A and B are shown apart, each in its own frame.
Chain A
């Protein structure tokens, strides 16, 4: 049994997350909105990893829980208060209930059948959010705040303005400190820190699950479910628990997305969103602790950077190339950036699945080993 130094890992992780506004400054990703997305999708991916990474059950339906979380949170903002605490609690609870129902049915099957069942449920929820549930979801427009919402716990906002989400009076969007550090302008806002603290908490919970007997059981399910059943253990309660836990993480992420911008739309429930979280977890490293977060940050960062690049920027980059080669290189690279950044994502994902099934975490470990071997040979 390998010895884990969990306290140190957690401490390092917490420091990195809390200092993100400083550390990310040189990469150009240090603005609150994007960092908050990193943290939120990190939570989503951590939760998904508990299901897929540990038990090996591949769900394509987790977008539904993300959507449910968002809707629940926005309803709380509309009815009760703009404070995010009740909204997040309801988001987690609702997603938990939903995942309990869907999980109870889907987990009667395993393997590819399970994937397709979750896919069918996600697509069903998406269709219903668009059609039948319009009174609850506001259909295509999406659920949003309105001036005449009751909000029974809050004092009325000034006439004609919509209130913004807050944490006991601290407004989520507010930038509370705006120093200049080494020439970079840093922005510290409350919204990111709320998400960051929840991310650290999620990381801690995931870590505890990974190291617990329960986590061991989940891994046993992935390794050999038949043998587990033959030893007289029913795997269903364990997989269901893992499913509900991951659904609740997804609900939390959905609720946090709603705190960023109190608006929930059905497109958050589309199965491609569920596909994206699969990409994140696999890209980062399936079944590892830090992998999912790494994958989430990587994909969201890539999306942010690549989708901004246009032809003019590319021509600027390759201006040093002589004559026609510049146009040629630009023409080759162009489909991979800007609106076509999904192409890069898909290609990258395929490369990872083919050559590096362990994801980025495994890749960095291998590179580390390689360097150590070289160092040893020279010594």
Chain B
């Protein structure tokens, strides 16, 4: 039982990332009808927002400490970030909290990138076949990826979570299991809570604001909303920005879990497409549900007992292929996905 529970919460953090990316993908697809292959690149850009932010914060002045020497006998150069020079302890704390703080930078940057992308490129592809949309966003993903590689290099750049969140929490003890059976790193817990609140925020935004209502109306019947004299295109553009920001934030907060490199977007992209398809193309709750579901399933499949069971029936290494297998089965048995409506993108 405790082992099952452990696997369940282990799947949650990856599931959160899938859910956030899939949510953004579905937002774009549901509003603009565009299949965005560059969405993984947006996730990656978010992660590099965090990297850039902490790089800016840690720009350092170099002072020479005359009392000490380095191993070559030269006077020791000491690097102190300017932010520490100016603000003292507060500056040190700022540096420590650079990952969560970079959210403040990531939101405007990502919204701007999203809107630029939509206005500059994707706008021109509404009337072209889906294959063309896939191809041009695929090209864009390559370009973004290579630009990041040119600036930051090909190696992963580790980012640390704030020191307050180092270590793990013993959840098992709280709910009556023995000690050390269910332990879970704090940061992953934060990541899960963070993504749940983002998802809730997006849903509340769509549900309870006038803007959200108009957007939902536009998703249902774009033409009529346009005929009512509402500038629906502008709102959809803004939604593209929001979707980009959601993907970006997923990337920002993921950096302490997995050091960002320029290819991380592509890895997540393939999986989040699978998530969107399993959840049902164009269904926001479906995307979220399928994201968590697949994350947890993947985690369960990596349990030794389950692995051995599937190896016994002729499917070894189930943890490697479970997501794809589920996708194939869902698409064949229930082509519209778990919560999808019939008739979307059938041709």
Contacts and interface: CB of A to CB of B under 8 A. Distances in A.
Interface string A327-365: 000000001000110110111011001100100000000
Interface string A132-167: 100000000000000000000000000000000000
Interface string B113-127: 000000001001000
Given A120-B327, A350-B136, A127 B320 contact: yes
Nearest to B318: A132
Nearest to A225: B347
Nearest to B129: A56
B72 interface: no
Interface in B309-335: 316-317, 320-321, 323-325, 327-328, 331-332, 335
Contacts of B135: 58, 278, 282, 349, 353
A177 to B, nearest CB: 40
Contacts of A357: 128, 132
Interface in B131-160: 131-132, 134-136, 138-143, 145-147, 149-150, 154
Contacts of B124: 354
A243 interface: no
Interface residues of A, number: 42
A143 B308 CA distance: 26
Given A112-B35, A120-B328, A131 B317 contact: yes
Contacts of B327: 116-117, 120
B274 A116 contact: yes
A342 B140 CA distance: 11
Contact of A343 (B129, B130, B146, B320): B146
A208 interface: no
A353 to B, nearest CB: 5
A271 interface: yes
B321 A124 contact: yes
Contact of B320 (A128, A278, A340): A128
Given A111-B346, A127-B321, A271-B270, A342 B328 contact: no
Given A119-B273, A343-B150, A357-B132, A112 B345 contact: yes
Interface stretch (A91-99, A102-110, A187-195, A303-311): A102-110
Contacts of A109: 331, 335
Contacts of B136: 350, 353-354
Nearest to A348: B139
Nearest to B274: A120
Given A117-B331, A343-B147, A346-B139, A132 B316 contact: yes
A270 to B, nearest CB: 10
Nearest to B335: A109
B277 A113 contact: yes
B266 interface: yes
Given A56-B131, A119-B273, A128-B320, A347 B138 contact: no
B277 A116 contact: yes
B281 interface: yes
A156 B96 CA distance: 66
Contacts of B146: 335, 340, 342-343, 346
A340 B149 contact: yes
A18 to B, nearest CB: 33
Contact of A226 (B134, B140, B273, B347): B347
A38 interface: no
A124 B141 CA distance: 22
A272 B266 contact: yes
Nearest to B149: A340
Nearest to A270: B266
A111 B347 contact: yes
A138 to B, nearest CB: 15
A86 interface: no
Nearest to A56: B131
Contacts of A347: 139, 143
Nearest to A102: B328
Given A120-B323, A340-B149, A343-B150, 15 more contacts: A56-B131, A112-B281, A117-B328, A117-B331, A120-B274, A120-B327, A127-B324, A128-B317, A343-B147, A346-B143, A350-B136, A353-B132, A353-B135, A354-B124, A357-B132
14 contacts: A111-B346, A116-B277, A123-B324, A127-B321, A131-B317, A132-B320, A225-B347, A272-B266, A342-B145, A342-B146, A343-B146, A346-B139, A353-B136, A354-B124
